[in-house]
Structure formats: structure tokens, C-alpha cells
């Protein structure tokens, strides 16, 4: 049998092995024992989700701007509409006093007939302030 | 050397400590495990000693003066921890270190984390027959392929003495293998 010579033979390995993932878990295990806060691992997808959420929020806010503007515009339009309607009824329609008389019933007429206590000075002031009233009275 | 000083500063700085220690673990856990395992032979014991080594390194970093390299300082701690562990184990079982060594070698055959063949087992038995210092020198030179200068820094022995130790160890191992 050939004499064994360590330096002449192939390198002999130790033959030792470790449990699977031993070194992967070792660091975590030791960090816990040492009470060092483990490094925060932020998964890439989580970062992306936050970014997506920010973009989505900006997009939604951007979409809301015209809607909010429209709703305030609608309110203004409603106010304008009432004025327009009043003007329309006053100047643009053919509704005259006879039409009004036809629409009013007895109770409305009685209500109108009820005496209103007004002093002469008050009436004068009203006539001075509202020039239109004179026109209505004449009519 | 400057890089090593900076790295030690990072290890001592609470803000950078965590990252630096992870770096240290990544660099040293495998070679240190192999070094310790070759001394204590059993995986569970190697795991315990490795954890204790890193804990000692972490707790004593502030006392590290930088008189030797970080590498040799850490290896020295690991070697001392492993040898102390074996001595305590022998004491606990009221047996000599040599008897414990033989017992550990006998247990290797049944160890799930030893995949060695006949020659690998025979080599382990041959190493166990050597004096403690020669065992260490042989394992560090033959298996871990450390330079004599590195072993010299770790064990605090001159390069000449280490070369002589290794030479004697090889001769004894060859004799053991040829006669068994």
C-alpha cells in the first residue's frame, strides 16, 4: 500500500456542514441577543405603493378642482338665475295687472286690502328712495 | 489601517453601530464558525461559542486599542472562547480534555452535520492525537489556509516556532494515518 503523505495527496476537507440557512439566520439571532435594533428592511414594492398612493392622491385632487369650481359656479348661477327670473318677470313677460287679478283669489285680495299703518313721512321717504314705485302707482 | 480605524469608529458610534456590526458579521461569521467548529467539533457547541465570541467582541470594542489587527483580535477571542468552552465541558463531565476530544471524535460518525468519509474521519482522529497547540496550528494552516504571520498574531507565537509546530504535526498525522 502506498504510504500516505499529506502534502502529496489531494486536499482533505473537514467534512463539517451546517444546518440549512444557518448563516442567514445567525445574524438575526445574534442581533436579538445583543439587543441591537435590527435594520429596517423596507421592501421595494412597499416603497412603490407609497409612491403610487401619492401620485393617485395628487391625481384625485387635480380631478376635484374643476368639480369644486363648478359647484361654486353653480351656486353663483343660481343667484343670478333668481335675479334674471325677477327681471324677466318684471320686464320681459306680458303678465299685467289683469292677469294678476285673475290669479289672486278672494283671500289674497282681502289680505291686500288690510289697512297698513303708514305715516306720510314714511311714504314720502319710500317714494324718494324708490323711483319705480311711482311708476307702479300710476299704472 | 486607516480604513480599519474608521470601521472601529463606526462600530463604536451608536448611530452607525448597527450597520457596521452587520458588516462585521457578514465578513467574519463564516471563517470564525469554521475556526471554532474545528476546535469544538460539534455544530451546536460551535454555534454557542460563535455567538459568545461576537457578544464579547461587541462588548469589548471600546477597549480595543488597535495594537493588533481587528482580524487577529477577533480570532484570538474566538480561539480563547472555544478552548475555554472545551475545558469547562471536560470539567463538567469530570474527564480530561484528551478524553473529551476522543469522545467528540467518536460522536462525529453519528453527527448529522458531519459528512466526512473514511479519510476525513481518520484525519480528525489523527489531529485529536496531537498536543493542543499543534492541533491549533495545523487546523489554521491546513484547513483555514491562514498565513504564518496571521497565525503568529493570533496565537502570539513566532513564525519560526509555528513552522516547526506545523512540521511536527504533519509528520505525526502521516504516521497516525499510515499505522491505522
Q: What percent of chain B has pLDDT over 90?
A: 77
Expressed in angstroms, the distance from the first to the final Cα of chain A is 144
Q: Do the Cβ atoms of B114 and A6 come within 8 Å? A: no
- Asked if B60 has any chain A CB less than 8 Å from its own CB, the reply is no
In the predicted model, residues of chain A with pLDDT beneath 50 are none
Quick: pLDDT tens for A57-90.
Answer: 888 888 888 777 766 555 555 556 777 777 777 7
Domain boundaries, chain B: 1-115, 118-180
Q: Identify the CATH class of B118-180.
A: mainly alpha
Quick: pLDDT tens for B34-60.
Answer: 999 999 999 999 999 999 999 999 889
Quick: pLDDT tens for B98-108.
Answer: 899 999 999 99
Evaluate whether the domain defined by B1-115 bears CATH number 3.40.50.1370: no
| B139: pLDDT strictly greater than 90 | yes
Position B172 confidence tier, pLDDT thresholds 50, 70, 90 = very high
> What H or E segment, with its residue span, contains residue B27?
helix B17-40
- Asked if B176 has any chain A CB less than 8 Å from its own CB, the reply is no
Beta partners for residue A16, in sequence order = B114
- Asked if B27 has any chain A CB less than 8 Å from its own CB, the reply is no
- Following DSSP, what letter does each residue of B50-86 receive, concatenated? HHHHHHHHHHHGGG--SSS-HHHHHHHHHHHHHHHHH
Closest approach of A39 to chain B, Cα-based (Å): 7
The confidence score (pLDDT) of residue B37 equals 97
- Asked if A18 has any chain B CB less than 8 Å from its own CB, the reply is yes
Which positions in chain A touch B18 (Cβ < 8 Å)?
Answer: 36-39
The confidence score (pLDDT) of residue A129 equals 79
* Smallest CA–CA distance from A10 into chain B, residue: B119
Q: Do the Cβ atoms of A27 and B50 come within 8 Å? A: no
CA–CA separation, A39 and A23 (whole Å): 17
The grid coordinates listed for B130 are 496531537
Average pLDDT, rounded, for chain B: 92
- Asked if A115 has any chain B CB less than 8 Å from its own CB, the reply is no
- Asked if B7 has any chain A CB less than 8 Å from its own CB, the reply is no
The confidence score (pLDDT) of residue A41 equals 55
| B1: pLDDT strictly greater than 70 | no
Q: At CA A25, angle to CA A24 and CA A27, rounded to 5?
A: 85
* Angle at which helices B70-92 and B2-12 cross, to 10°: 60
Amino acid at each position: 500500500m502506498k504510504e500516505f503523505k499529506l502534502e502529496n495527496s489531494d486536499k482533505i476537507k473537514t467534512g463539517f456542514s451546517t444546518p440549512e440557512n444557518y448563516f442567514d439566520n445567525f445574524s438575526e439571532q445574534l442581533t436579538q441577543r445583543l439587543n441591537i435594533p435590527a435594520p429596517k428592511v423596507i421592501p421595494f414594492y412597499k416603497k412603490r405603493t407609497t409612491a403610487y398612493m401619492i401620485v393617485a392622491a395628487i391625481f384625485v385632487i387635480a380631478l376635484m378642482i374643476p368639480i369644486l369650481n363648478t359647484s361654486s359656479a353653480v351656486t353663483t348661477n343660481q343667484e343670478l338665475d333668481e335675479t334674471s327670473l325677477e327681471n324677466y318677470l318684471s320686464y320681459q313677460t306680458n303678465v299685467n295687472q289683469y292677469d294678476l287679478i285673475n290669479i289672486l283669489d278672494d283671500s289674497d285680495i282681502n289680505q291686500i286690502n288690510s289697512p297698513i299703518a303708514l305715516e306720510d313721512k314714511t311714504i314720502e321717504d319710500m317714494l324718494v328712495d324708490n323711483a319705480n314705485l311711482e311708476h307702479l302707482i300710476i299704472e | 489601517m486607516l480604513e480599519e480605524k474608521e470601521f472601529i469608529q463606526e462600530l463604536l458610534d451608536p448611530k452607525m453601530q448597527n450597520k457596521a456590526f452587520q458588516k462585521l458579521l457578514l465578513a467574519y461569521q463564516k471563517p470564525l464558525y469554521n475556526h471554532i467548529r474545528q476546535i469544538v467539533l460539534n455544530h451546536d457547541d460551535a454555534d454557542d461559542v460563535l455567538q459568545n465570541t461576537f457578544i464579547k467582541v461587541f462588548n469589548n470594542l471600546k477597549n480595543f486599542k488597535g495594537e493588533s489587527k481587528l482580524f487577529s483580535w477577533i480570532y484570538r477571542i474566538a480561539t480563547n472562547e472555544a478552548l475555554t468552552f472545551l475545558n469547562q465541558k471536560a470539567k463538567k463531565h469530570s474527564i480530561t480534555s484528551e478524553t473529551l476530544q476522543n469522545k467528540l471524535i467518536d460522536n462525529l460518525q453519528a453527527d448529522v452535520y458531519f459528512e466526512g468519509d473514511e479519510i476525513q474521519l481518520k484525519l480528525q482522529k489523527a489531529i485529536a492525537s496531537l498536543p493542543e497547540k499543534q492541533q491549533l496550528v495545523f487546523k489554521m494552516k491546513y484547513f483555514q489556509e491562514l498565513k504564518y504571520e496571521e497565525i503568529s498574531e493570533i496565537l502570539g507565537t513566532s513564525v519560526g516556532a509555528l513552522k516547526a509546530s506545523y512540521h511536527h504535526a504533519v509528520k505525526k498525522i502521516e504516521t497516525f494515518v499510515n499505522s491505522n
